[in-house]
Structure 1
Amino acid sequence: MAGWTLVKVAMLTDCYPPRLGGIESQVRDLSRHLVRAGHEVEVFTATTGPDGERGGATATGDDGVTVHRFAIPLPGGIPVNPFARPEIRRRLAAGRFDVAHAHLGVVSPFATELVPLALDRGLPVTATFHCVIDRSGPVFRVLGHLARWAEKGVAMNAVSTMAATRVSAAAGDAPVEVVPNGVDVAWWRDGAPDGDAAPAADGAPRPVHVVTATRLAARKRPVALLAVLRGARQILDPAVPLRATIVGEGPQRRVLERYVASRGLDWVELPGRVDRDELRRLHQGADVYLTTARLEAFGIAALEARAAGLPVVAPRATGVDDFVGDGVEGVLGDSDVQLAGAVARLAADPAMRRRIRHHNLTTPPAQDWSDVLGATLGEYHRAGARPA
């Protein structure tokens, strides 16, 4: 950004790796990309370290990111620490930071508590919402803290247009910008074939492969996903073979296993969690990506699939709308019945799949990290950061 020099950022987040999750990964990746660009980043979190570090332990990793870990021993690793405020206040004052950047979900007690602490220290603050404020909207309005933050100059943003609209409503119609999650488009695209895989050596038709990467939790609607796959199979020409792979772990795994067994879905695989390299190989060898999550603030897994070239089938009016246009990067539906129809349509139409894959591989999404870093620095500027 013109006129900017390097900044020193205090990242405020409930959770951080080694704990796994979407927010954790995004905060880590953002921090790393900022450091690679020459900025300084120190993370303040209530998550223990890889060897159980907590109580204010500080370490700088090989990636150049310094992490202050203020976890306390609580059941389930709940990310709260009401005793850390004096020490965090001291470190924020001593750190000579240019800006504080808070990362928030629907419930983020640690980061939420640190925003007024940073404001009291005179720091410019930006707050990124990685969540969908849905039924909790009235609670946010009654508490009023988002409106107060806006009045004090906090630059609020959210990871998608849909999420930003809801945050703004919960903050008394305060301005909320969109700063998306980031993805390394070139990495996901590297090696992806621009077309369907070759048929089997014996000439038999290759099954159309539908993939999903998701946490197997009720909020992500994995049972509905199986029902959509089953519906697609029922309306698809029996001559078109179909297979599906659902990557991920979570509390509903047993429920899904029973569903698959009881309905004879022997063409559906549940391999569990895989690493990023294996997920990229899976995406690049598949034909369609499917998600049924409706309370999706962004949809990083769908964006990764889109970056790898896959046509994406997703519900309309979620964060996925920001990078999937209906009929362009994939197919959007208003109901599970429409999603099943979309999967069946793509499975039956290889020309449509090839057209969308070619578009996805030759038209990078706007959520590449190079663009996200610029948008993030813009929010630091909007918050009032003025690095020397």
Structure 2
Amino acid sequence: MRVAIVSESFLPTVNGVTTSVCRVLDELRRLGHDATVICPGPDAPAEYAGFAVHTVPSIAYRRFPLGMPSPLVQSVLADFAPDVLHAASPFLLGAQAIAAAGRLGVATVAVYQTDVAGYAKRNRLGLTTALAWRYVRWVHNGADITLAPSTASADDLAHAGILRVRRWGRGVDLTRYHPNNRSRADAVALRESLSPDGEVVVGYVGRLAPEKQVERLAALRGMEGIRLAVVGDGPSDVAVRKALRRMPVSWLGRRGGDDLGAAYAALDMFVHTGTEETFGQTVQEAHAAGLPVVAPNAGGPIDLVRHGVDGLLFDSDRELRDAVNLLAHDAGLRQRMGEAGRRAVLRSSWADVCADLLRHYDAAIAHRAAAGLRLRRTVEL
């Protein structure tokens, strides 16, 4: 199969969109498929996993390059002649690609990864909320299939009038994030620095951005016997540090690869704070690492956390504090929930998830072919 991936984000920018695109490309290469990438420039690599990467002009928005529509999109698609277009979190660049693919008769799959409703509500955009959903509806209804990562996001899309929505989750690296990593020398050393007196280490991993609501960790202020570890950086760094001032916090900065695996391994529990996650990749990573998860009863975590089994869901800052307090004082409960979380993700490897994606590609190709047949019959009549 020939797959053209158009992504609103790509290397060197690291986020959920970039990570999922890279893992999909890795699997396409492993399975012997062909692919090409179109993404914002100018700093993206010339190739990834042996596949060509084409860049379009971009402007900076919130520290990230935002790809702008370009004639390059149509020409790359025409030259590559893909069987399917994969539009990752389509916005301006993705919208152009979906339209171009339609003109070329190429099947299209749009992957939804941004909580438009949550973003608009948090920023009190009012009328802009309706306009944003109108744009999302126009973009996604131009695709043959839209893939939503969670029940909550699928419901949002259906409510907004978006058609042909299917569920597609995300994979997790079951080796990099593994309970056995706790015995690695780097994880042991990090653990000793985070918990010098045997404190329970409560960790957050992810971007420090307004939508992540990391400031909510201030609800744990004054709780005895715990220390916080914050892994990540971003535009809310100053605000989060201010909110958590004079709390026992270790700021570990952005980590990746095996360093990130060691960071998870050094924690006792994982706390997710944002209510606008369409999925919650770090929740899966924490479960793979054998950690109990405390997360909001909203968005993607609803599908990932089984309340009372492999973690605890909360609706308020008070419930967040109570959940952490319960786990902090019950090592046996932490162990049982961590083991349950590990078992829950054993079928969520990237190989498994990408096998599902290929089936969605086939469905999109079939939908495009059927639509073309109906059009030909209409013209003949």
Q: Do the two structures share a fold, i.e. TM-score over 0.5?
A: yes
- Which residue of structure 2 aligns with residue 185 of structure 1? 174
- Which residue of structure 1 aligns with residue 21 of structure 2? 27
1:146/1:212 Cα in 2 relative to 1: closer, same or farther (>3 Å)? same
| Partner of residue 118 from structure 1, selected from 94, 101, 105 | 101
Q: Within 2, Cα distance between the matches of 1:218 and 1:148?
A: 25
Structure with the larger helix share: 2
Q: Within 2, Cα distance between the matches of 1:222 and 1:191?
A: 28
- Which residue of structure 1 aligns with residue 67 of structure 2? 80
- Which residue of structure 1 aligns with residue 205 of structure 2? 213
- Which residue of structure 1 aligns with residue 307 of structure 2? 326
Contact 1:104–1:112 (8 Å) recurs in 2: no
- Which residue of structure 2 aligns with residue 70 of structure 1? 56
Q: Within 2, Cα distance between the matches of 1:169 and 1:129?
A: 14
Q: Find out whether 1:146 has 2:137 as its counterpart.
A: yes
Q: Within 2, Cα distance between the matches of 1:16 and 1:102?
A: 12
Query: 1:203-238 CA deviation, whole Å, 9 max, x = no partner?
Result: x9721111111211111111112x2222xx44xxx4
Q: What one-letter code is carried by the residue in structure 1 that aligns with 2:92?
A: P
- Which residue of structure 2 aligns with residue 174 of structure 1? 163
1:343/1:372 Cα in 2 relative to 1: closer, same or farther (>3 Å)? same
Q: Within 2, Cα distance between the matches of 1:216 and 1:109?
A: 25
- Which residue of structure 1 aligns with residue 39 of structure 2? 45
Query: 1:140-180 CA deviation, whole Å, 9 max, x = no partner?
Result: 4544x636854x6611111111112112222x252311111
Considering only aligned residues, what root-mean-square deviation do their CA atoms show, in Å?
Answer: 2.6
1:77/1:330 Cα in 2 relative to 1: closer, same or farther (>3 Å)? closer
Contact 2:215–2:244 (8 Å) recurs in 1: no
SS at match of 1:370: helix
Q: What one-letter code is carried by the residue in structure 2 that aligns with 1:318?
A: G
Seq. identity, %: 28
TM-score normalized by the length of structure 2: 0.84
Contact 1:102–1:128 (8 Å) recurs in 2: yes
SS at match of 1:116: helix
SS at match of 1:79: strand
| Partner of residue 163 from structure 1, selected from 153, 175, 197 | 153
Contact 1:99–1:385 (8 Å) recurs in 2: no
Contact 1:292–1:336 (8 Å) recurs in 2: no
Structure 1: any 5+ residue segments left out of the alignment? 1-6, 52-58
Q: Within 2, Cα distance between the matches of 1:364 and 1:23?
A: 20
- Which residue of structure 1 aligns with residue 219 of structure 2? 228
Query: 1:43-89 CA deviation, whole Å, 9 max, x = no partner?
Result: 111232357xxxxxxx334x22221111256686642333x22x322
Equivalent residue pairs, number: 348
Query: 1:82-123 CA deviation, whole Å, 9 max, x = no partner?
Result: 3x22x3222212212110010116xx2111121111111000
SS at match of 2:116: coil
